[in-house]
Structures are given as structure tokens and as C-alpha cells.
Amino acid sequence: MVYGQILHQPDDCFINVNVGGFRQRMDHTVLRRFPQTRLGRLLCCSSKEAILELCDDFSPFDMEYYFDRSPSFFCYILNFYLTGKIHLVDGLCVVSFVQEIEYWGIKERHLDLCCSSRFLELMEQTCWDRTSEDQQLQSSGSSAASAEELTALEDNKEIFEGSWCADVRRSVWIRFENPGFSTSAKVMAVASVSVVFVSIVAMCLNSMPDFHRVGSDEKHVENPVLAWFENLCILFFSAEFTLRLAVAPSAKSFLLSPLNVIDLLTILPFYVTLICDKMSEDKNTELENVGKVMQILRLMRVFRILKLARHSAGLRSLGATLRHSSREMGQLVLFLSLGVSLFSALIYFAEQESKVSELQTIPIGWWWATISMTTVGYGDTVPVTSAGRLIGTLCIVCGLLIVALPITNIFNKFSKFHQR
């Protein structure tokens, strides 16, 4: 038989398809409805070489095409040719499903409505998992690694091979990064969290007037007891950071880790403040604003609260959620910006004739619309006219809807990351 005759057979002819032992007779008319699919392209082949590019084997005598694919999944392919829609396969990984439909030349747009939303959700979750795994593998020397990676790190001696004191560094590193490794690792984790809490309490007490002290020059100075606790905590943080940096498999990956950057920000202000104090004692004329600089540096002590993220799965889940929710956060900001701009202009025109109303300018209306749409409701600026109150009601209702829509997706992502 000449292969060119395949193309010129009448439309009521059939081809025999053999998929993993499952045989099916298929009409040319059905296949020509989807000419871009693999079976549809077979009808356009005029040589055996072209046919074998689309199937695994071919029998000219029986007009049978052989495919070494899953016969159970091919039932869904048959249903696609009959109905024009493909459905998700229960129990089949979404990645395998995508590979199968790509092989048969079926596009994702052919998914039926009943399966499209579930498919998108599964694909999005798979993308999160792959992205998170890639990031964790790249920063395996950081504290953001997962428990599974830390367990693998315990048995992977190749990371430290060829370096100085490899066994000692590996042992210390695992105890710092995996609190569940041993009793000593748990003790180190508890000690680190305890010092963080002591530092936060000391910082809070230092802001209270009852703990203030007045120096010889009638200026407020830090309470000596609280200052001693502060120095002790900074000494502990510095020793912990230095030791972890010394035993880290990669210093570059260690310093680029977000949690380690937070640790560094909790330490640096203390030493910079010491340097500024020494320079101010010398009465250097170039340091007139050193007091303001020191206030800013002391304010940076609040970053030590974020150190708790190292030992809190909830805080790490929150960070991962915000990192993977940039689109939802952008939508939330965009919706709020549009709503604030619209209602600030409306409330201005509704209240401008009232002499007792404070909403006499659109910038003031921005403030009112912001606290109304976010349902904060300070009550410092309120409409007084009937039209203004109606606009205020609409502003609050729209704010609830605008904030609720993206927040739902963000919450779902947080739940999935926390569950992982």
C-alpha cells in the first residue's frame, strides 16, 4: 500500500489505534475536528517516517497505530474527541496530567468548566512547591531550610568535605539549624528564644518613665540594670551570629538569607551607637545630628522581635505568604487606591457647602476614605450632611468588599504554607 493513499481515503473510513494494548477504532471525521492533535495530524502524513514521528509503531496492513502510553488515560482522550472537552483524572498527579495532554496535542483551554478551576488551583500549588523547594535548596545554609532538608543535611557530609574542621562545623551547624536534632540543639534553641524575650522586655521597660534615670548633666540616661541586660543580650546575639557564620557551609548564602540579615540588623545598631557615643564625647563639630542618628539606631532594636521567626513556623509561613502574594497585594493596593480617590472626590462635593464639616478639601477626603474603606473608623473626620452620610455608607460597604476579595486568596496561601 502506498502511504499517500491514507490521506485520500473517504471520510467514512476508520483507523485503528492501539494504546498500551487497548484497541479502538476511530472515525476520520471525528479526528479531523481537531487537526492540531496527535491523532488528527496522523491523517495528514504521507510517509512512514512522518507517521513514526507521531506514534511508536505502525502496521500498514491493519492500518493500526501503536502508542506506548497509558491505556486508562486514553479513555479520557476518546471522550475529548467525542465531546470536545477534557476532564481531570482522579488520582492522577496534575503534572502527569499536563504531560499526557501535551503528548496527545490537547490544550489546557479544552478543559471543561467543572475542572478548570480545580486544575488552576493544583497547578498554582505545584508552582509554589517547586519555587519554595528551589529557594530552599539554594539557601540550604540558611535557617529558612525545611525540616526535610535539614535531615538530609545531617547525612550529607559532602557539603563540608574539604573544609577546615569539617566534622566539628557540621555538628555545630546542625545543632543551630535543627532544634529537633538532639537535646543540646533544643537547649540552644530555648536559650536563643529566652534571650530574645528578655531583650524585648528590657526594651519595653526602658521606654517607661519609672525606669528613667537622670545623669550628672541633667540628661536622661539608660537604667544601669536594663543597660546591663541589654549588653548581655547583644553579647549573646553577637556570639551566636559569629559562630553560625563561622560554621556555615557557605558564608555568601548565609549572609544573603533574610533571617540572617534580620539577625545582623539587631546587632549592628548597638555597635554603631557605641561608636557614635565615643565620637560625641570628643565633641566633634561634624556630629551635630548624632543624637538623632542614635535615636534611629536605638529604634532599630525593634528588629530583634523578628528573630522569633527563626523558631516560629507561623512567622515563617507569614513571610512565605507575603513573598508569594505580590499579585494579590498589588490588587489590594490598586483597589483601595481607586476607591479612596473616588470617594474622596464624592465626599468633597457633598460636604463643601457645609460650614461645620471638616471635609473641605480632597486631601482630607483621602484620609477619611482610607480609614473608612479599611473599616478603621477613627471618628476624627465624619460627614455631617445627608448626602455625605450616604456616600460614607457606600464607602464602608465597598471597602469591606474590596478588602475581602484579595484577602481570601492570601489566607488560603497562608493556610497551605503553614500546613506544609
| Alpha helix positions (H), 324-385 | 326-351, 362-373
Q: Domain limits of the chain?
A: 1-68, 74-139, 147-311, 323-419
Strands 64-67 and 14-19 come out as parallel
Q: Is the pLDDT of residue 8 over 70?
A: no
Query: Is residue 37 predicted with pLDDT exceeding 70?
Result: yes
> b/e map of 238-272 (b: 16 or more CB within 10 Å)?
bebbeebeebbbeeeebeebbbbebbebbbebbee
Topology of 74-139 in CATH?
Potassium Channel Kv1.1; Chain A (3.30.710)
Domain 1-68 identical in fold to domain 74-139: yes
Cα distance between residue 185 and residue 220, in whole Å:
41
Angle between helices 224-247 and 183-206 (to 10 degrees): 140
Return the higher-pLDDT residue of 160 and 225.
225
Under the banding of pLDDT at 50, 70 and 90, the label for residue 4 is: very low
DSSP summary character for residue 111: B
Q: Where is average pLDDT lowest: 84-88, 378-382, 386-390?
A: 378-382
Q: pLDDT digit string (tens) for 135-154?
A: 544 444 333 444 444 444 44
Q: Which superfamily does 1-68 belong to?
A: Potassium Channel Kv1.1; Chain A (3.30.710.10)
pLDDT for position 394: 92
Q: Give the residue from 89, 97, 146, 100 showing the smallest Cα distance to 123.
A: 97
Q: What is the pLDDT of residue 299?
A: 63
Q: Which helix (H) or strand (E) holds 14?
A: strand 14-19
CB–CB of 156/249 below 8 Å?
A: no
Structurally, at CATH architecture level, domain 147-311 sits in Up-down Bundle (1.20)
pLDDT of 334 strictly over 60: yes
What CA–CA distance (Å, rounded) separates 385 from 371?
19
C-alpha cell at 286: 561634624
DSSP state for residue 86 in the 8-state scheme = B
* Residue 67: per-residue pLDDT: 92
Virtual CA dihedral for 171, 176, 180, 182, nearest 10 degrees?
40
**Does residue 390 carry a pLDDT above 90?**
yes
When pLDDT is cut at 50, 70 and 90, the band that residue 160 belongs to is low
| Tally of helices (H runs) and strands (E runs) in the chain | 18, 6
Query: Which range is most confident: 186-195, 257-266, 305-314, 392-401?
Result: 392-401
Task: Report the pLDDT value the prediction gives residue 150, as an integer from 0 to 100.
Answer: 44
Q: How far apart are CA 259 and CA 72, in angstroms?
A: 48
The mean pLDDT of 316-331, rounded to a whole number, is 76
pLDDT band at 11; cut points 50, 70, 90: very low
Q: Please state which architecture CATH assigns to domain 323-419.
A: Orthogonal Bundle (1.10)
pLDDT at 319: 73
The enclosing H or E element of 59 equals strand 57-59
**Phi and psi torsions of 355, nearest 5°:** -80, -25
What tens digit of pLDDT does each residue of 94-123 get? 888 888 888 998 888 888 888 877 887 777
Provide the 3-class DSSP secondary structure of residue 257: coil
pLDDT digits (tens, 9 = 90+) for 275-310: 776 766 655 545 445 555 656 666 666 666 666 666
At a CB cut-off of 8 Å and minimum separation 6, what does 122 contact?
A: 94
Q: How high is the pLDDT of residue 136? A: 47
Segment 52-71, tens digit of pLDDT: 888 988 888 877 899 998 88
User: What's the pLDDT at 155?
Assistant: 44
CA dist., res. 406 & res. 144, Å (int): 26
Query: Given this model, what pLDDT does residue 219 score?
Result: 64
The 3-state DSSP class for residue 242 equals helix
